Structure 1
Amino acid sequence: MSLLDDLFRAARAAREKAYAPYSRFAVGAAVATPGGEIFAGCNVENASYPVGSCAEAGAIAAMIAAGGRRIAAALVVGEGTALVTPCGACRQRLREFAREDTPVHVCGPEGLRRSFTLGELLPLSFGPDNLTNDG
C-alpha cells in the first residue's frame, strides 16, 4: 500500500463518522507526518453554524495531540462533482505545519481526483517563518 492509499483509507473512514445533520455534506481528512504516522478527522457541525469544525482541523488536532508537529502530506475526501478542496481557514491551518511543496490530495468517494501543493492552494501565504525575529 502507498501513503496515498493509507491517507485515503483513513480519510474515507473518518468521513463515514462525520456529524453533518445540517449541511448533509460529510467530509473526511487525513494528514501524514514525515515519519508516516496518519491522523484523520471529520467535519463536526453545530446548530450554531460558526462553531462547527472542519475535517482538516480535526486531523491536525489529532496529530498535535499525539505529539506531531509537521505535515508531510494531506488528503481531503468529499462527495459531489466539484473538487472538495480545503476551505481558506483550513489552508491556513495546514500552512502552520506544512511547507509550500507539501502535497494536498483531493478525493471523491471513488478515489483521487487531483493533487496540489499547498503553495498552489495558498500562494504567497503568511506562516510561522514570517514571525521569526532575525534581529
Structure 2
Amino acid sequence: MEFTELYLQAKKATNPRKLSKTAQCGTVGAALLTDTGNVYVGICIDTACSMGFCAEHAAVASMLLAGENHIKKLIAVNHQGDILSPCGRCREFLSQISENNLDTEVMVGDNKVVLLKELLPYDWRNL
C-alpha cells in the first residue's frame, strides 16, 4: 500500500467537532499500515487539561486491540489536509510498542518519508 491511500484514510477520519466546553476531537487523523498489511486509523482528542491524546495513539490502540504491534508505515494529517510529523511523545510511544517500529516509514511532509529512528537520533535506549 502506498502513502497516497494511507493519506486518504487519515484525511477521511478527520471531522473536527466540539465535544463539550473543554474538549474537542477529530482535528487530526492518523493511519498506519502494519507488517501484515492491515490499516488502522485514529483521531486526536484534545482537552483543556491536556488529558487527550494524539491520533497516532488512537490508531495504535486499534492495532493493539487486533493483536498487532509492528508498524510498516504511518501518516498523520490535519483536517485541512496538511501532513504532520509525529510529536516527540508519539515518536517515543511508537518506538516502544515494538523495537521493529524504529524502521517504520513515517511521512513527515509532501513527498518526504523518513524512518522513525531518524526522528529519534539519540534514543535513550541506545546511549
Shorter chain as denominator, the TM-score bin is 0.7 to 0.9
> How many angstroms does 1:87 deviate by?
0.8
| CA displacement 1:26-83 (0-9 Å, x = unmatched) | 21111111011000111111232x2011000001001001111211111111267x86
- Identical-residue share of aligned pairs (%): 31
Cα-Cα RMSD? 2.8
TM-score by length of 2: 0.78
Residue 62 of structure 1 pairs with residue 62 of structure 2: yes
Give unpaired runs (5+ residues) of structure 2: none
SS of the aligned residue for 1:86 comes to coil
Cα separation, partners in 2 of 1:18 and 1:38, compared to 1, 3 Å: farther
SS of the aligned residue for 1:43 comes to strand
TM-score by length of 1: 0.74
Cα separation, partners in 2 of 1:4 and 1:45, compared to 1, 3 Å: same
SS of the aligned residue for 2:62 comes to helix
> How many angstroms does 1:115 deviate by?
1.3
Distance 2:72 2:119 in 1: 15
Write out the 4+ residue segments of structure 1 that deviate beyond 2 Å after TM superposition. 16-25, 97-101
Distance 2:7 2:83 in 1: 15
> 1:40 maps to which residue?
41
Cα separation, partners in 2 of 1:100 and 1:19, compared to 1, 3 Å: farther
Residue 121 of structure 1 pairs with residue 119 of structure 2: yes
> How many angstroms does 1:85 deviate by?
1.1
SS of the aligned residue for 1:36 comes to coil
Give unpaired runs (5+ residues) of structure 1: 131-135
Q: Is the 8 A contact 2:43 2:58 kept in 1?
A: yes
Q: Structure 1 or 2: larger strand share?
A: 2
Distance 2:120 2:17 in 1: 26
